Structure 1
Amino acid sequence: MPGNKGETGHNKLQFVDTLRALAIMGVLLVHVSQHVDGLNGWLQKGLSLGAKGVALFYLASAFTLFLSLSRRSGDRKERVSAYLVRRFFRIAPLYYVMLIIYLVVNGTGPRFWLGDQEGVTVANIAAHILFLNGLNPYWINSIIGVEWSVAVECMFYLCVPLLFKLIRSIRHAAWFVMGTLLLSFGLNTVFANAPWISDHPLWGHYLYLWFPNQLPVFGLGILLFLIWKDERHWISVDRFSGVLLLGSVLFALCTGMTDYLIGVLLLLGAYALYHWQPFWLLNRGWSWIGCLSYSMYLTHMLALEIVSQIELPFSPVVNLTLMFVMTLLLTTGLSWLTYSWIEQPGIRWGKKIISRMKSVRSQEDSVKESVA
């Protein structure tokens, strides 16, 4: 989900910022629609697809993480340590601030995501601080209301160094996508009939949100990176890999795994965006929103809570439009502040620590050489 221009680089990669911008727009739209009464059923169902914006975040995230690691120099140990520091300071400062704000605003009392638990516990808060809230169905989304994706993203962060070492070709990526799809289906089938908690509706939501169910979309992001990296692009997909990927689509069709099918469409759309470079989507405006997207993701629930207090007397569609515009404007304003005062300083802190780590490592190497 998080990302910045420094990770995407030159203008030809501006499409990644646009992907993030489109993702946050989708998330905003679906959450705003949930506060508007009287919407047509088909319209409501169509708007619910905005929730797939999170999958677009994951796709962009996997792409940029592999791109970033491919551009780093130095031995693997140094890359991994610097990578972990960079990731932590990219997401943690703002995330911690927002945890505090949401706890102050919403308190610790009962809510939907807590199921039959009485309130937010100290253990729950500690799990959030450690990014482990995704391991518990009562904790995964119980403070901010959208933090489940941050927990999932952090689990993927931990896997990336190993995946970067193992997945070196399009065929490797195709195997990974197919393997994670089968794993997701198998685990969800088993655990759907073996819930850990007594709240069955919440358990169903958890099985949708949890890491194994989201992993295939990250795999599609890795696949996008490897296709993009090869100068031949789609021609570089060999016959076996193509059959494997087609098999994954057919498997998803037969098993009703629509989220994966949407992920495949998002991958094709992302590549089309890169290939055709439409000026109406690739410009400074979309890039700016893309840069703010992480802040917007964490602040928009606060903005929506304020906007939803306004009673609008118009038709449902007009109310939806007005609420969306007001929420977007308020969220953008809040996000500019958090981006400037929290996100960017956090990124600079991370860079300073990495610089010191490299300096210490260089001194240690010099000492070893002098002793030898």
Structure 2
Amino acid sequence: MNSSTDPAVQSGQAVAAPRADPSEDKLDYIDAVRGWAILLVITCHVGGQFAQMPYPVKLLTNSGGHGVQLFFLASAITLMMSWSRQTRPFPTATRTFFIRRFLRIAPMYYLGALIYFYLRPPSGGFDPGQLARSLLFINAWHPAWIPTTGGWMVVPGGWSIGVEFTFYAVFPVLAIVMTTLPRALALSAAAVVLACVANALALKGLADYPPLAVDGFLYFWFPNQLIVFALGIVLFHVLARLKVRRPGKRLTYGLLAGLGGLALVLSQRVASPSYLISPLTLPTMLLMVFVFVGFILVLAKGAGTVFSHRWLCGLGRLSFSAYVLHFMVIQAVSASGMVDIGATGYRAIGWLVVHWSVTMIGTLIVAAIAHKLIEQPGMALAKGLTRARGKPLPVAAAAE
């Protein structure tokens, strides 16, 4: 049915996507996915401290940056699961959605801005415009704002938060339209076309900027990342409809090993575009996302393995605080003198392991504290502000 003629839309009611499989209500596998995502991101950024590692190892650690796309997939899935259970009218549902998403992200993000202002004062001086763009989450829309041009980065890694908030801005419309798998697939195809066109136009419009800055920007900005969120919506529909007999552990481990091997091969691709410019030439980022889609499917539908261990689930629940604060921990470990970040060759690999281990311990400690003191009060406030009188909140906690 065309959504524009749907009586529910005309009456202002939220149009729910197909409800997720009740067996998936316990979203341990999503927490595990987030746990893996933050492990990949931390590995990438710790690896960035060692410039003289053997090149294949350097490529491998660099590929950990794709953990951000794993976060994006998990976000799209959980938001669709939450919205599919929504029974409020569309305006109310949308207001609830924005309040909850803002209070889920902004308190920790703003604390990060304050912390890094003191730890990494802007070398070019305080820039109120850049601060405002970052705090308003529009910082991923220009190469000087992300910034790939060497300007003030209010929160390291904040580009992904800006991209995430852009997705939030369009999500309610996507949620009431992308109610079937064919529609979600159509959105994915449209996202590829949009990225190719937008990137080509931006290349011309940003000709005055250094090529490396433009390349970085076109990788980061929302038009290039929309395909990841679209595939997350596709994955939601697949998970909700896929009824398969749960495979045994041997097959589950085999599938995970195969996906891991494919990811390892992709990490060594050196001649690949960093952003979509043609549907015939897919960037490594998108190829890695297809691997992640398979990984999430196996975790959701396969047997329990160490890949979804409760430790990883716990890490996933701390992953946002860990994402914001791990840069601080990496900086502290590198500056402490306890590791030799100037090591070369295979010695650098040994020191990488030491640095990564200390960073993980430190990040877990500060993330657990921040989650308790900042994130949980923000989520509680959001629930209080959006709770229907006399009724339990219908939005699933999974999106939190």
Aligned to 1:278: 304
**Structure with the higher fraction of residues in helix conformation:** 1
Distance 1:291 1:139, change over 3 A: same
Distance 1:325 1:121, change over 3 A: same
Distance 1:99 1:360, change over 3 A: farther
- Measure, in 2, the Cα distance between the counterparts of 1:276 and 1:41: 35
- Measure, in 1, the Cα distance between the counterparts of 2:286 and 2:228: 7
What letter is aligned with 2:371? Y
What letter is aligned with 2:102? F
Q: 1:252·1:261 contact (CA, 8 Å) conserved in 2? A: no
Shift of 1:9: 9.4
Q: 1:15·1:277 contact (CA, 8 Å) conserved in 2? A: no
- Measure, in 2, the Cα distance between the counterparts of 1:271 and 1:330: 31
In the TM superposition, what whole-angstrom CA distance separates every residue of 1:113-138 from its partner, at most 9, and x where no partner exists? xxxxx445101101111111122322
Aligned to 1:187: 198
The one of 235, 249, 252 equivalent to 1:224 is 235
User: Where in structure 2 are the equivalents of 1:1-372 lying within 5 Å?
Assistant: 12-109=26-123, 118-141=124-147, 142-195=153-206, 197-232=208-243, 254-309=280-335, 310-312=337-339, 315-355=347-387, 358-359=388-389
Shift of 1:257: 2.3
Distance 1:264 1:22, change over 3 A: same
Q: Tell me, what secondary structure is at the counterpart of 2:304?
A: coil
- Measure, in 1, the Cα distance between the counterparts of 2:139 and 2:325: 19
Distance 1:195 1:120, change over 3 A: farther
- Measure, in 2, the Cα distance between the counterparts of 1:308 and 1:323: 8
What letter is aligned with 1:25? L
What letter is aligned with 1:218? F
Would you say how many aligned residue pairs link Structure 1 and Structure 2?
328
Q: 1:227·1:233 contact (CA, 8 Å) conserved in 2? A: no
Distance 1:288 1:26, change over 3 A: same
Q: Which moves more between the two structures, 67-76 or 308-317?
A: 308-317
Q: Tell me, what secondary structure is at the counterpart of 2:154?
A: coil
Shift of 1:42: 1.0
In the TM superposition, what whole-angstrom CA distance separates every residue of 1:203-249 from its partner, at most 9, and x where no partner exists? 22111100000000001100010011114479xxxxxxxxxxxxxxx
Shift of 1:153: 0.1
Show structure 1 runs of 5+ residues with no match: 1-7, 110-117, 235-250, 362-372
In the TM superposition, what whole-angstrom CA distance separates every residue of 1:262-297 from its partner, at most 9, and x where no partner exists? 111111111011111333122321111000000000
Aligned to 1:247: none
Aligned to 2:3: none
Q: Tell me, what secondary structure is at the counterpart of 2:87?
A: coil
TM-score (norm 2): 0.78
